[in-house]
Amino acid sequence: MASGIAVSGLTKRFGRTTVVDGLDLEVGEGDFLVLLGPSGCGKTTTLRCLAGLETPDGGTIQLRDTTVFDGRRGWNVPIHKRDIGMVFQSYALWPHMTVRKNIAYPLKVRGRREAIADGWVENAADMVHCGDLLDRYPAQLSGGQQQRIALARGLVARPGLVLLDEPLSNLDAKLRDQVRTEIRELHQELGFTAVLVTHDQDEALALGDRIAIMRDGRIEQCDTPERVYVEPASDYVAAFIGMSNRIEWERVDGGWSSPAGARVGPDDLGALTGQRAVSRVRPDDLRVHPRQPDDLEGAVALDADLVTAEYGGRHVDVTVRAKETRLHVRVGTGDAGTWIRSLKPGEPLAVSAPLASLRTYEGDR
C-alpha cells in the first residue's frame, strides 16, 4: 500500500487525561477513511494532531512518506508545510472577509499568489456550486452555503490530504445527503487522501473506503464498510454500527440461556469458551409472531410484550420487552405491520431471529 498516512503509537494527553492512547492507523494514498465513534472518544484530537494543530505527546506521523511528527526525535512540521486542507465542523469562516477572501486564505498563507491569479479560487467555488457567491460575506449565506465555502477553502490549495471534522452535522437532513454526495464526488474527481470524522454510522458507511471505529483514544476495528457492517469485531463496534439489540447469555446445563427468556443449544452461538456471552442483532433481522412458531429451525425465539409500534411509511418500528430486555424490531408495512399496529401496548407476542443473523461475543462487557 502506497502510504497516504501512517500513524504509529500516537499519544495525546490534556493534563492527566490521555485522550489519544497509542493509536495506530494507516490510510492508503487516495483512500477515504472515516473515523467513527461517540462524542469524546478522541476523534477531533486525532485529526488535529494529523493537521499539526495539536502537538502530540508521543508516537510518529508520516504523511506521504514524510515524517511530520516524531515524538522521540522532537520533529514537528508546522501545519502550512503539511500539504493539508482542513474542513471544520463549525465552518470557521472569517466573518469580516468576503467568500473570495475566505477561500483564498490558504493560498495566501502559503504565498501562492500565482495560483490566486490563475483562478484557483473561482475554480474551487465552482466545484462546490458557489461560483456566484464570491463577493458576499458569510453572514449573507445559508448554513449549507457556508459549509460548501468551508469545503472550497479546504480544497483550494489542491492538497494531497483533506481532513474533515463532522462537516455535515450542522446541516439539516436533506442538505446533509446532498453535501455528502458532493464530498464523495469531489473525492472521486480530485483523488486526494481523506480522513473524515463523524459519529453517524450512515455517513460512515456511505463515505468510507474504510471505517475506523474509535473507542477511548484507540482504534477498535478498521475495515471496509462491508466488513464492519457484516462482521463487527466486538460488542462495542456492533452496537455502533446499528446492531442495537443486545441479548445476554449464560451457559446452563450444556446449552445457553438468556435472562430475556431464550434457550439455545451448546453450539448454536458459535465457538465460545467462556461461561457468558453477548449477542447483537439488527432490528431488521428480528421477526414478530402471535406466538412462538413450532417449526423454528436455526432460529432463536422469545416471548415478549408490546411496548410501542411506530409507523414509519415503509416499515413499522416496534419496541417489545422480553422480561427485562428491550428489543427493537423493524417490520415491513405488509401483513405483519398491519397486525402489529392492531395490538395494544402490553399485549403478548413472540419475536424470533435466525441464528445466522446473531453476532456473538465472549464475556458480558
Ligand X SMILES: Nc1ncnc2c1ncn2[C@@H]1O[C@H](COP(=O)(O)OP(=O)(O)O)[C@@H](O)[C@H]1O
Query: Does residue number 19 form part of the binding site for ligand X (CB under 6 A)?
Result: yes
CB of 8 to Mg ion, least distance (A): 22
Q: Give the integer Cα–Cα distance in Å for 13 and 112.
A: 35
CB of 205 to ligand X, least distance (A): 18
- 346: buried, middle or exposed (CB in 10 Å: 19+, 13-18, 0-12)? exposed
Closer of 14 and 94 to ligand X (Cβ): 14
37-56 residues in contact with Mg ion (CB under 5 A) are 44
The site partner of 14 among Mg ion, ligand X, none (C-beta below 5 to 8 Å per kind) is ligand X
The count of other CB atoms within 10 Å of the CB of residue 269 is 22
Contact residues for 256 (Cβ-Cβ < 8 A; gap 6+): 249, 250, 263, 264, 265, 266, 268, 269, 277
String of contacts with ligand X for each residue 23-42, x by CB under 6 A = --------------x-xxxx
Q: Give the integer Cα–Cα distance in Å for 187 and 345.
A: 48
Residues 10, 34, 36, 43: which binds ligand X (CB under 6 A)? 43
Closer of 47 and 331 to Mg ion (Cβ): 47
Closer of 36 and 121 to ligand X (Cβ): 36
Closer of 19 and 149 to ligand X (Cβ): 19
Query: Does residue number 218 form part of the binding site for ligand X (CB under 6 A)?
Result: no
The site partner of 42 among ligand X, Mg ion, none (C-beta below 5 to 8 Å per kind) is ligand X
CB of 24 to ligand X, least distance (A): 17
Closer of 100 and 215 to ligand X (Cβ): 215
CB of 183 to ligand X, least distance (A): 19
Contact residues for 106 (Cβ-Cβ < 8 A; gap 6+): 85, 153, 154, 156, 157
**Inter-helix orientation angle 99-109/120-127, to 10°:** 120
In the structure grid, which three cell numbers stand for residue 130, read together?
A: 458557489
CB of 14 to ligand X, least distance (A): 3
Half-sphere exposure of 120 (CA within 13 A, CB side): 21
Closer of 215 and 326 to ligand X (Cβ): 215
Helices (H) and strands (E) in the chain, counts: 10, 21
String of contacts with Mg ion for each residue 190-219, x by CB under 5 A = ------------------------------
Q: Give the integer Cα–Cα distance in Å for 155 and 148.
A: 11
Number of residues that bind ligand X (CB under 6 A): 10
Closer of 47 and 149 to Mg ion (Cβ): 47
The site partner of 311 among Mg ion, ligand X, none (C-beta below 5 to 8 Å per kind) is none
CB 196 within 8 A of CB 32: yes
CB of 182 to ligand X, least distance (A): 23
CB of 12 to ligand X, least distance (A): 8
What torsion, rounded to 10 degrees, do the Cα atoms 139, 145, 149, 150 define?
90
Which helix (H) or strand (E) element contains residue 240?
helix 235-240
Which residue, 299, 355, 351, 302, is CA-closest to 330?
A: 351
Per CB under 5 A, residues contacting Mg ion are: 44
Binding stretches for ligand X (CB under 6 A) = 14, 19, 37, 39-45
